[in-house]
Amino acid sequence: MVNNKDFANRLKKVMEFHQLTATSFADQIAVQRSSISHILSGRNKPSLDFVLKVTANFKDVDIYWLLKGEGQFPALKKQSSTPTPTQQPFQSVSKTNSTETQKQIQRIVVFYEDGTFEEYLK
């Protein structure tokens, strides 16, 4: 069962993280603006359609975190067992001293103009 107050607080966290007003958030997920207002005030419970629209439009929102507070926000991108070409491990090569310990990149975060991001872990 979804606790309306907790759900509303998590929804506010998503909106703040993406720097969206209730109006712009409603427009982004294609729901009526009053739906956001009613959910945030606790008047209405979120529908399954609403929850799916949020998680479809904001890939960093995990459905379990949104509904129950389990997990974390923003959700970490899941890594595949075989790196894709863009997920190949990066390694910096020191040209000054061959005996110097080489540094290795641990993670790369790419931020997009629409407020989304992707994280690549080694």
pLDDT at 12: 94
The predicted-structure confidence for 17-34, as pLDDT tens digits, reads as follows: 999 999 999 999 999 999
CB atoms within 10 A of CB 69: 15
Tokens (6 digits) for 26: 């409603």
| Terminal-residue alpha carbon distance, the chain | 37
- pTM (two decimals): 0.60
Residues of the chain with CATH 1.10.260.40: 4-68
Four-way CATH pick for 4-68: 1.10.260.40, 3.30.1050.10, 3.30.60.50, 1.20.1050.10: 1.10.260.40
Report whether pLDDT(87) > 60.
Answer: no
